Amino acid sequence: MARFPEDADKDRRFDVNLSILFTELPLLERPAAAAAAGFTAVELWWPWIETPTPARGELDGLRKALEDAGTRLVGLNFYAGRLPGPDRGALSVPGEESDRFRANVEVAAEFAGSVGCAALNALYGNRIPGADPARQDELALENLALAARAADRVGAVLLIEALNRPESPDYPLVSASAAVEVADRVNSATGLGNAKFLLDLYHLSMNGEDLPEVIDRYAGRTGHVQIADNPGRGAPGTGDLELAGLLDRLREAGYDGWIGLEYKPGDRPSADAFDWLPRPLRAAH
Protein backbone atom coordinates (compact mmCIF):
# COMPACT_ATOMS: atom_id res chain seq x y z
CA MET A 1 0.00 0.00 0.00
CA ALA A 2 1.30 3.47 -0.89
CA ARG A 3 2.32 5.57 2.08
CA PHE A 4 2.28 9.29 2.57
CA PRO A 5 5.87 10.49 2.93
CA GLU A 6 7.11 11.21 6.44
CA ASP A 7 8.00 14.75 5.36
CA ALA A 8 4.49 15.49 4.03
CA ASP A 9 2.78 18.66 5.15
CA LYS A 10 2.36 18.16 8.89
CA ASP A 11 -0.29 20.88 9.01
CA ARG A 12 -2.70 18.67 7.08
CA ARG A 13 -5.50 17.81 9.52
CA PHE A 14 -6.92 14.27 9.39
CA ASP A 15 -9.86 12.99 11.40
CA VAL A 16 -11.39 9.51 11.64
CA ASN A 17 -15.05 8.85 10.90
CA LEU A 18 -16.17 6.64 13.78
CA SER A 19 -19.34 5.58 11.96
CA ILE A 20 -17.42 3.61 9.31
CA LEU A 21 -14.14 2.87 11.13
CA PHE A 22 -13.89 1.16 14.53
CA THR A 23 -17.49 -0.02 14.17
CA GLU A 24 -16.41 -3.39 15.54
CA LEU A 25 -16.42 -1.60 18.90
CA PRO A 26 -19.31 -0.10 20.89
CA LEU A 27 -19.80 3.59 20.17
CA LEU A 28 -18.38 4.82 23.45
CA GLU A 29 -15.16 2.82 22.98
CA ARG A 30 -14.39 4.21 19.54
CA PRO A 31 -12.91 7.61 20.54
CA ALA A 32 -10.30 5.87 22.74
CA ALA A 33 -9.50 3.45 19.92
CA ALA A 34 -8.95 6.33 17.51
CA ALA A 35 -6.72 8.03 20.08
CA ALA A 36 -4.72 4.82 20.52
CA ALA A 37 -4.16 4.79 16.75
CA GLY A 38 -2.68 8.28 17.02
CA PHE A 39 -5.62 10.51 16.06
CA THR A 40 -6.81 13.53 18.00
CA ALA A 41 -9.92 14.33 15.93
CA VAL A 42 -12.98 12.32 14.91
CA GLU A 43 -16.30 12.76 13.14
CA LEU A 44 -19.62 10.88 13.26
CA TRP A 45 -22.79 10.23 11.38
CA TRP A 46 -25.77 10.70 13.71
CA PRO A 47 -25.05 7.80 16.10
CA TRP A 48 -28.62 7.05 17.19
CA ILE A 49 -30.34 5.92 14.00
CA GLU A 50 -33.54 4.96 15.84
CA THR A 51 -34.12 8.37 17.38
CA PRO A 52 -33.38 12.00 16.55
CA THR A 53 -33.75 12.91 20.23
CA PRO A 54 -31.75 10.52 22.42
CA ALA A 55 -31.91 10.67 26.18
CA ARG A 56 -29.66 13.19 27.88
CA GLY A 57 -27.63 10.34 29.34
CA GLU A 58 -26.79 9.08 25.85
CA LEU A 59 -25.50 12.48 24.81
CA ASP A 60 -23.59 12.93 28.05
CA GLY A 61 -22.02 9.48 27.64
CA LEU A 62 -20.69 10.30 24.17
CA ARG A 63 -19.43 13.68 25.35
CA LYS A 64 -17.54 12.03 28.21
CA ALA A 65 -16.07 9.37 25.92
CA LEU A 66 -14.73 12.07 23.60
CA GLU A 67 -13.30 14.07 26.49
CA ASP A 68 -11.76 11.06 28.23
CA ALA A 69 -10.04 9.98 25.00
CA GLY A 70 -8.72 13.48 24.33
CA THR A 71 -10.40 13.50 20.92
CA ARG A 72 -12.14 16.46 19.35
CA LEU A 73 -15.38 15.98 17.42
CA VAL A 74 -14.94 18.03 14.25
CA GLY A 75 -17.91 16.86 12.20
CA LEU A 76 -21.39 15.56 13.01
CA ASN A 77 -24.33 14.59 10.80
CA PHE A 78 -27.81 15.69 11.63
CA TYR A 79 -30.30 12.82 11.86
CA ALA A 80 -30.43 11.16 8.44
CA GLY A 81 -32.39 7.94 8.86
CA ARG A 82 -30.71 4.56 8.63
CA LEU A 83 -27.01 4.91 7.88
CA PRO A 84 -25.57 2.64 6.70
CA GLY A 85 -28.72 1.47 5.00
CA PRO A 86 -31.28 2.52 2.39
CA ASP A 87 -31.84 6.05 3.67
CA ARG A 88 -29.76 8.96 2.43
CA GLY A 89 -31.14 11.73 4.57
CA ALA A 90 -34.46 12.88 5.94
CA LEU A 91 -34.89 16.61 5.51
CA SER A 92 -36.53 16.49 2.07
CA VAL A 93 -38.75 13.48 2.84
CA PRO A 94 -42.34 14.60 3.50
CA GLY A 95 -44.07 13.40 6.62
CA GLU A 96 -42.53 11.60 9.57
CA GLU A 97 -38.91 11.70 8.42
CA SER A 98 -38.74 15.47 7.90
CA ASP A 99 -40.49 15.87 11.25
CA ARG A 100 -37.79 13.74 12.85
CA PHE A 101 -35.13 15.88 11.18
CA ARG A 102 -36.66 19.07 12.58
CA ALA A 103 -36.87 17.52 16.04
CA ASN A 104 -33.17 16.72 15.78
CA VAL A 105 -31.90 20.12 14.65
CA GLU A 106 -31.57 21.81 18.03
CA VAL A 107 -30.46 18.60 19.77
CA ALA A 108 -27.62 18.03 17.30
CA ALA A 109 -26.60 21.68 17.22
CA GLU A 110 -26.57 21.95 21.01
CA PHE A 111 -24.45 18.82 21.30
CA ALA A 112 -22.06 20.07 18.61
CA GLY A 113 -21.69 23.38 20.42
CA SER A 114 -21.02 21.64 23.73
CA VAL A 115 -18.01 19.77 22.32
CA GLY A 116 -16.68 22.50 20.02
CA CYS A 117 -17.76 20.80 16.79
CA ALA A 118 -17.84 23.40 14.04
CA ALA A 119 -19.35 21.44 11.12
CA LEU A 120 -22.83 19.90 10.87
CA ASN A 121 -23.71 17.83 7.81
CA ALA A 122 -27.30 17.72 6.56
CA LEU A 123 -27.88 14.92 4.06
CA TYR A 124 -30.55 15.96 1.58
CA GLY A 125 -32.75 12.87 1.36
CA ASN A 126 -33.92 10.54 -1.41
CA ARG A 127 -36.57 11.24 -3.99
CA ILE A 128 -39.74 9.50 -2.85
CA PRO A 129 -42.15 7.78 -5.29
CA GLY A 130 -45.36 9.75 -5.54
CA ALA A 131 -43.88 12.92 -4.03
CA ASP A 132 -43.51 16.05 -6.16
CA PRO A 133 -39.75 16.71 -6.55
CA ALA A 134 -40.40 20.47 -6.52
CA ARG A 135 -42.23 20.15 -3.20
CA GLN A 136 -39.40 18.03 -1.83
CA ASP A 137 -36.96 20.78 -2.81
CA GLU A 138 -39.13 23.42 -1.11
CA LEU A 139 -39.24 21.31 2.05
CA ALA A 140 -35.49 20.79 1.86
CA LEU A 141 -34.83 24.51 1.67
CA GLU A 142 -37.09 25.19 4.65
CA ASN A 143 -35.33 22.56 6.74
CA LEU A 144 -31.84 23.49 5.60
CA ALA A 145 -32.49 27.11 6.53
CA LEU A 146 -33.62 25.92 9.96
CA ALA A 147 -30.44 23.86 10.28
CA ALA A 148 -28.22 26.70 9.08
CA ARG A 149 -29.62 29.04 11.72
CA ALA A 150 -29.13 26.43 14.45
CA ALA A 151 -25.58 25.79 13.30
CA ASP A 152 -24.85 29.50 13.25
CA ARG A 153 -26.01 29.87 16.85
CA VAL A 154 -23.28 27.43 17.97
CA GLY A 155 -20.60 28.82 15.66
CA ALA A 156 -20.77 25.99 13.13
CA VAL A 157 -21.06 25.70 9.37
CA LEU A 158 -23.75 23.70 7.62
CA LEU A 159 -22.41 21.15 5.16
CA ILE A 160 -24.17 20.10 1.94
CA GLU A 161 -22.89 16.82 0.51
CA ALA A 162 -23.06 15.25 -2.94
CA LEU A 163 -23.32 11.45 -2.89
CA ASN A 164 -22.84 9.11 -5.85
CA ARG A 165 -25.48 7.89 -8.26
CA PRO A 166 -24.44 4.19 -8.48
CA GLU A 167 -24.83 3.69 -4.71
CA SER A 168 -27.54 6.29 -4.10
CA PRO A 169 -29.70 6.34 -7.25
CA ASP A 170 -32.60 8.17 -5.57
CA TYR A 171 -30.47 10.93 -4.02
CA PRO A 172 -30.78 14.10 -6.12
CA LEU A 173 -27.42 15.73 -5.32
CA VAL A 174 -24.96 13.64 -7.31
CA SER A 175 -22.55 16.31 -8.55
CA ALA A 176 -20.43 18.98 -6.95
CA SER A 177 -22.33 21.70 -8.79
CA ALA A 178 -25.70 20.43 -7.52
CA ALA A 179 -24.53 20.49 -3.90
CA VAL A 180 -22.98 23.94 -4.24
CA GLU A 181 -26.17 25.25 -5.86
CA VAL A 182 -28.17 24.10 -2.82
CA ALA A 183 -25.66 25.74 -0.48
CA ASP A 184 -26.12 28.97 -2.45
CA ARG A 185 -29.90 28.76 -2.06
CA VAL A 186 -29.59 28.23 1.68
CA ASN A 187 -27.23 31.18 2.04
CA SER A 188 -29.58 33.35 0.03
CA ALA A 189 -32.53 32.31 2.20
CA THR A 190 -30.78 32.92 5.53
CA GLY A 191 -28.27 35.66 4.74
CA LEU A 192 -25.80 33.87 7.01
CA GLY A 193 -23.33 32.54 4.46
CA ASN A 194 -22.53 29.49 6.60
CA ALA A 195 -23.70 26.79 4.16
CA LYS A 196 -20.64 25.11 2.67
CA PHE A 197 -19.82 22.25 0.32
CA LEU A 198 -18.73 18.88 1.72
CA LEU A 199 -16.23 17.69 -0.89
CA ASP A 200 -16.07 13.89 -0.77
CA LEU A 201 -13.48 12.66 -3.25
CA TYR A 202 -14.82 9.11 -3.24
CA HIS A 203 -18.40 10.06 -4.10
CA LEU A 204 -17.32 12.54 -6.75
CA SER A 205 -14.97 10.01 -8.35
CA MET A 206 -17.81 7.46 -8.44
CA ASN A 207 -19.81 10.06 -10.36
CA GLY A 208 -16.99 10.39 -12.89
CA GLU A 209 -16.22 14.01 -12.08
CA ASP A 210 -12.91 15.63 -12.96
CA LEU A 211 -11.51 15.85 -9.43
CA PRO A 212 -8.74 18.40 -10.09
CA GLU A 213 -11.29 20.66 -11.81
CA VAL A 214 -13.74 20.29 -8.90
CA ILE A 215 -10.99 21.18 -6.45
CA ASP A 216 -9.90 24.22 -8.43
CA ARG A 217 -13.48 25.44 -8.82
CA TYR A 218 -14.87 24.77 -5.36
CA ALA A 219 -12.02 24.68 -2.83
CA GLY A 220 -13.02 28.14 -1.66
CA ARG A 221 -16.60 26.98 -1.09
CA THR A 222 -15.59 23.83 0.79
CA GLY A 223 -16.25 23.43 4.50
CA HIS A 224 -15.04 19.84 4.92
CA VAL A 225 -13.33 17.10 2.90
CA GLN A 226 -13.76 13.33 3.09
CA ILE A 227 -11.67 10.67 1.38
CA ALA A 228 -11.72 7.01 0.44
CA ASP A 229 -10.08 5.22 -2.46
CA ASN A 230 -11.96 4.05 -5.53
CA PRO A 231 -12.88 1.36 -6.42
CA GLY A 232 -13.87 -0.30 -3.18
CA ARG A 233 -14.15 2.63 -0.75
CA GLY A 234 -11.03 1.38 1.01
CA ALA A 235 -8.00 3.07 2.49
CA PRO A 236 -5.75 5.23 0.32
CA GLY A 237 -3.59 2.95 -1.80
CA THR A 238 -6.19 0.20 -2.19
CA GLY A 239 -7.67 1.72 -5.35
CA ASP A 240 -6.73 3.96 -8.24
CA LEU A 241 -7.17 7.51 -6.90
CA GLU A 242 -4.05 9.64 -6.51
CA LEU A 243 -5.25 10.92 -3.15
CA ALA A 244 -1.93 12.36 -1.99
CA GLY A 245 -1.75 14.52 -5.11
CA LEU A 246 -5.39 15.55 -4.81
CA LEU A 247 -4.89 16.62 -1.20
CA ASP A 248 -1.82 18.60 -2.25
CA ARG A 249 -3.96 20.31 -4.87
CA LEU A 250 -6.57 21.15 -2.25
CA ARG A 251 -3.90 22.72 -0.07
CA GLU A 252 -2.56 24.74 -3.01
CA ALA A 253 -6.12 25.88 -3.79
CA GLY A 254 -6.40 27.29 -0.27
CA TYR A 255 -8.22 24.56 1.65
CA ASP A 256 -6.73 24.10 5.12
CA GLY A 257 -9.61 22.38 6.93
CA TRP A 258 -10.24 18.87 8.15
CA ILE A 259 -9.88 15.76 5.98
CA GLY A 260 -12.18 13.01 7.17
CA LEU A 261 -11.07 9.41 6.72
CA GLU A 262 -14.39 7.87 5.68
CA TYR A 263 -13.33 4.52 4.27
CA LYS A 264 -13.96 0.85 4.98
CA PRO A 265 -11.17 -1.01 6.80
CA GLY A 266 -11.66 -4.18 4.78
CA ASP A 267 -11.28 -7.61 6.36
CA ARG A 268 -9.03 -6.42 9.17
CA PRO A 269 -9.42 -4.53 12.42
CA SER A 270 -9.82 -0.79 11.95
CA ALA A 271 -6.65 -0.14 13.96
CA ASP A 272 -4.69 -1.85 11.14
CA ALA A 273 -6.21 0.29 8.39
CA PHE A 274 -3.93 3.32 8.78
CA ASP A 275 -0.58 1.93 7.62
CA TRP A 276 -0.68 4.32 4.64
CA LEU A 277 -0.43 7.32 6.99
CA PRO A 278 2.73 7.66 9.13
CA ARG A 279 1.84 8.04 12.78
CA PRO A 280 3.40 11.53 13.14
CA LEU A 281 0.89 12.81 10.55
CA ARG A 282 -2.22 11.48 12.30
CA ALA A 283 -2.49 13.94 15.18
CA ALA A 284 -3.63 17.46 14.32
CA HIS A 285 -1.01 20.10 15.13
pLDDT band of residue 4 (cuts 50, 70, 90) is: low
Q: Which residues pair with 119 in a beta bridge?
A: 157
The alpha carbon of residue 55 and the mean position of all alpha carbons in its chain are separated, in whole angstroms, by 24
213 counts as catalytic: no
pLDDT at 7 over 60: no
pTM: 0.96
- The C-alpha torsion from 197 through 203 and 207 to 212, rounded to 10°, is 60
Output the pLDDT for position 9.
Answer: 56
Structural domains in the chain plus CATH codes:
13-281 (3.20.20.150)
Per-residue pLDDT, 3? 63
Q: Which of 43, 97, 209, 262 is catalytic?
A: 262
Beta strands in 131-237 (DSSP E): 157-161, 195-200, 222-227
- The single residue of 43, 97, 161, 209 carrying the catalytic annotation is 161
Q: What's residue 1's pLDDT?
A: 43
Round to whole Å and give the CA distance between 75 and 225. Answer: 10
Residue 161 among the catalytic residues: yes
Distance, in Å, from the CA atom of 115 to the CA atom of 109, rounded to the nearest integer, reads 10
- pLDDT tens-digit readout, 192-201: 999 999 999 9
pLDDT computed for residue 11 by the predictor: 67
| Mean pLDDT along residues 23-51 | 98
